[in-house]
Amino acid sequence: MQGRNLEDMVERQDAASPLADILRRYREEREIRLRTDSAGQYLQLKDPAADVTDSHKPSNNSRDLVDEDVEVVIVGCGWGGIVAGVELRKAGVENIRMIDKASGFGGVWSWNRYPGVACDTDAYIYMPLLEEMGVMPTANYVSGDEILAHATRVAHRFDLDQNALFETGVTEARWDEHAGRWTVSTDRGDVLRARFFMMAPGSLESPKVPNVPGIGSFLGKSFHSSRWDFEYTGGCSDGHLTNLRDKRVAVIGTGASAVQCIPHLGKWAKHLYVFQRTPSAIDWRDERPTDEAWYKSQERGWQMRRIQNYTSLVGLEPVEVDLVNDWWTKRQFAALQHLKPDMSGQEIGDILQAADIEAGEELRRRVSDIVHNPETAEGLKSWYQRYCKRPCFHDDYLQTFNLSNVTLVHTQGRGIERVTETGIVANDRHYPVDCIIYSTGFQLGAYADEPPVSLFGRDGISLSEKWRDGATTLHGFHIHGFPNFFLISIAQSAWGANLMHMLLEQGRHVAYIIAELMQRGVAVAEVSRTAEAAWVKHHEQLALNIAGVWENCTPSFFNNEGNMTLKALRSGPYGNGVGAFCHQLEQWRATGGLEGLELR
Ligand code: NDP
């Protein structure tokens, strides 16, 4: 449905057809959610005004200050940093220092320990290096704990953990032209002089809360879902929240995180109020333990084949077989069977649109089948195209709303109005509670006003200054004026349902370049102004082509809360998808010329 506008789609339908009704409803639901303050409706948790949490504060364990010269500094010990580190090790780079604010490896999986935390992406494609590590996931979808353990194991296996600096924030990185190195400073007072500086900050690293009156005034317990306080709730990421038995709990938000923790909260809280602004679409999950015989029968190279197959399917590229065959892929595979090579773009668009609407109808019927109270069921039905928001997968979530201690407070797109000392106001009513859990998501790094680290390149130019009107890169990695610097993010780089595919490719790519530079004895590499401008132009053209998709969508962090400005489009992901992006990088490497980089 590339670039097709919801208005055009409604108009193309017979006005009285059920399809037109549904599309009209999508449009109306989107319109009531559009706000003039878009992303400004949130405060980031690190903002002092948003101090709703006192858990998960760093322990500030004392350690010796680090003052050293190093080949590569990687900021970010999530999967992006880990797989880049692994690839560097494989390429023979020994002197690497990894740094993270968290207390260990794992990135989002290190912060998000909430009850029920799990990955909704097939474990056999999400958990990297399974063949190499000789690891078998326990099930087709695995818990956050299992992923975290895998991250730690991989980091250990490739010696990335030996000198990693945790609970350490990088405050500034500055290019020293004379020394040909980056000076990296941390909030602990460390100073590292790095030949190559890589940032892999993750896309969802900054939790946010609604900027509503009274935020911070609540006298009970409150925290963000990514900073869960098990001391207060009892239990662990498996559940057993026994301390909540006498507590009235509010959870704000019904995105992918909330969908996973709400069944546990419903089970244990004395009363649970779910404050919903927009319902998530809840698909089947069908979690199954791994069949060991099947797993062992996989032929060498199976994991990358499976990863590529999934990426193709989710990106609607024709494939012979659906290897993953879960609720992410089977709808795509079925829709693709109706496409013929000689079809026009319009015909393809119509077929995909009909399939998307049918999927929506099926999921709405699923809500009616499961949720007993008809009014609650209506409130839980989602009215937007499937990929406008993160699809959710759960086999207990909807059932939770049948419990007598669980109340859905559906705010019909308005959200909560206020927080008071004793509770929450929504739909003009005050709900007194003992505990508030903000499951209100994260600022998407690519659309943030400021980069996560103050970065100063050649001649002292700052990255925030350079990117005032949006990102400028080659392939998302290289920035003119910032020599020997590599960025691993989604800005002008790809973003897909299986983030791991992109991270693996990005890691491979930057490791290839660094290893080549070292082998060729290159001291400084910097993308040329021309190469950067060419990629920006290419990226912008694609971004403008798909701008219509974002415009159709109900607001979320995907589309900068419905405000896809040119700046956001520039800083957003590559418009041709992960498969095409990986192909571009492969071709670039195949030439062997490090094209676009100026080498000194
Ligand atoms: P989301 O941004 O998806 O959800 C935030 C929720 O808070 C939304 O329901 C939003 O409503 C709601 N909200 C925001 N402001 C208000 C308000 N003022 N009043 C009431 N509700 C409000 O964050 P999540 O943490 O749930 O998920 C973030 C991402 O993390 C996912 O998209 C996914 O990429 C990833 N994730 C992945 C998982 C996995 O399986 N791999 C599991 C969990 C998360 P509205 O929709 O109206 O904006």
- Whole-number pLDDT of residue 549: 83
Residue nearest to atom 2 of ligand 1 (CA): 441
Find out whether the beta carbon of 329 lies less than 6 Å from any atom of ligand 1: no
Is 257 a pocket residue for ligand 1 (Cβ < 6 Å)?
yes
Q: Interior CA angle at 426 toward 424 and 432, to 5°?
A: 30
Q: Which atom of ligand 1 is nearest to the CA of 226?
A: 25
User: How far, in Å, from the CA of 439 to the mean position of ligand 1?
Assistant: 6
- Report the nearest atom of ligand 1 relative to the CA of 118: 40
Which candidate, 75, 71, 72, 73, places its Cα nearest to that of 199? 75
Local structure of residue 226 (DSSP, 8 states): G
Lowest mean pLDDT among 161-165, 341-345, 484-488, 587-591: 341-345
Residue 57 in this model has a pLDDT that exceeds 60: no
The pLDDT assigned to 58 comes to 54
> What pLDDT sits at residue 60?
58
- Give the pLDDT mean for 571-584: 94
Distance between CA 214 and CA 37 in Å, rounded? 18
Mean pLDDT, rounded, of the chain: 94
Give the DSSP H or E segment for 252: strand 248-252
**pLDDT(54) > 50:** no
> What pLDDT does 3 receive?
46
Ligand 1 in contact with 254 (CB < 6 A)?
Answer: yes
Cα–Cα distance measured from residue 94 to residue 88, given in angstroms and rounded to the nearest whole number:
8
Best mutation site among 277, 416, 424, 427 for ligand 1 pocket (most ligand atoms within 8 Å of CB): 277
pLDDT at 1: 42
Strand runs (DSSP E) across 389-474, as ranges?
392-393, 406-410, 418-419, 423-426, 429-432, 435-438, 442-443, 454-456
440 lines ligand 1 (CB under 6 A): yes
Q: How far is the CA of 258 from the centre of ligand 1 (A)?
A: 7
Q: Which residue has the higher pLDDT, 264 or 61?
A: 264
Q: Which residues contact 505 (CB under 8 A, 6 or more apart)?
A: 494, 578, 581, 582, 585
Is the distance from the beta carbon of residue 123 to the nearest atom of ligand 1 less than 6 Å? no
Distance, C-alpha 253 to centroid of its chain: 16
Q: How far is it, in rounded angstroms, from Cα 188 to Cα 171?
A: 9
Other Cβ atoms less than 10 A from the Cβ of 462: the count is: 17
pLDDT confidence of residue 13: 67
SS3 state of residue 525: strand
pLDDT single digits (tens) 408-452: 999 999 999 999 999 999 999 999 999 999 999 999 988 888 888
Q: Give me the pLDDT at residue 26, please.
A: 95
C-alpha dist (Å) from residue 286 to 135, 156, 283, 306: 22, 32, 10, 19
Residue pair 135/150 in contact by the 8 Å Cβ criterion: yes
DSSP codes, 350-398: HHHHHHHHHHHHHHHHHHHHH-SSHHHHHHT---S-GGGS--EE-SSHH
On the 0-12 / 13-18 / 19+ scale of CB atoms within 10 A, 393 is buried
Q: Is the pLDDT of residue 569 over 90?
A: yes
Distances in Å between the Cα of 375 and the Cα atoms of 273, 382, 387, 410, 475 are 16, 14, 25, 10, 48
User: What letter would DSSP give residue 452?
Assistant: S
- State which ligand 1 atom lies nearest to the alpha carbon of 416: 19
- For the cut 60, the answer to whether the pLDDT of residue 15 exceeds it is yes
pLDDT at position 517 is 98
29's tokens: 């639901």
- Using left for φ > 0, alpha for ψ between -120 and 50, and beta otherwise, residue 113 falls in alpha
Q: Quick check: CB of 116 below 6 Å from ligand 1?
A: no
Q: Give nearest CA residue, ligand 1 atom 17.
A: 415
Which residue, judged by its Cα, is nearest atom 3 of ligand 1?
255
50 to 187, 229, 421, 442: CA distances (angstroms): 21, 17, 14, 13
Which residue minimizes the CA distance to atom 4 of ligand 1? 255
CA–CA distances in Å: residue 345 to residues 312, 339, 549: 18, 10, 15
Angle (CA) 208-209-213 rounded to 5° is: 145
> What's the distance, Cα to Cα, between the start and end of the chain in Å?
45
pLDDT reading at 5 higher than 80: no
Contact in structure between 227 and 108 (CB atoms under 8 Å):
no
As separate numbers, helices (DSSP H) first and strands (DSSP E) second, the chain gives: 21, 22
pLDDT above 90: residue 309: yes
Q: Which of 360, 128, 154, 394 is nearest to 286 (CA)?
A: 394
CA-nearest residue, atom 18 of ligand 1: 415
Residue 580 has pLDDT above 90, yes or no: yes
Segment 388-400, tens digit of pLDDT: 999 999 999 999 9
Q: How far is the centre of ligand 1, averaged over its atoms, from the C-alpha of 142 (Å)?
A: 20
pLDDT at 7: 66
Distance CA 283, CA 392 (A): 6
Q: Is the shortest distance between the CB of 119 and ligand 1 below 6 Å? A: yes
- If one compares 80 and 49, the residue with the highest pLDDT of the two is 80
d(CA 367, CA 371): 6
Backbone φ and ψ for 142, nearest 5 degrees, come out as: -120, 165
Domains parsed from the chain with CATH numbers: 6-53+211-285+347-442 (3.50.50.60), 71-204+444-599 (3.50.50.60)
| DSSP code of residue 246 | G
pLDDT at position 2 is 44
Six-digit token pair at 129?
């290096």
